[in-house]
Structure 1
């Protein structure tokens, strides 16, 4: 089970509402295989991967 804290991601995006929209768009891209993940998948769901990618940047 992945544990993702969104505090770092919120600081990078600006506010939690924009974070949710950004993560949802990215998760949709990953789910539809439109783009490759930028971080290791580790059996995580697309939403978790999207949040980890945002934290990483």
Structure 2
């Protein structure tokens, strides 16, 4: 995959808004030093996150049992 597009990612996740949230969370994790699930060379964090979603290495956790959305966002930001 020479170039990753939003359409490539939407094959794995059919909601654009959920895709934005997922990719932004993953990019923040990569920025903080989490090891990427694939070997990349000189890609920006967002591009790496998009590639991970497009190949299926990163999926959206739809488990809402962890509490309110506000608490989930707060927990995600503190990671």
Question: Which residue number in structure 2 is paired with residue 51 of structure 1?
Answer: 50
Q: Which structure is higher in helix share?
A: 1
Q: Report the TM-score, using the length of structure 1 for normalisation.
A: 0.85
Q: Which has the larger radius of gyration?
A: 2
- What stretches of structure 1 of length at least 5 have no aligned partner? none
> Which 4+ stretches in 1 moved above 2 angstroms?
none
**Partner residue in 2 for 1:22:** 22
Structure 2 gaps, min length 5: 57-79
Higher relative contact order (CA 8 A, sep 6+): 1
Length, aligned pairs only? 55
Aligned-residue CA RMSD (Å): 1.3
The alignment's TM-score, normalised by the length of structure 2, stands at 0.63
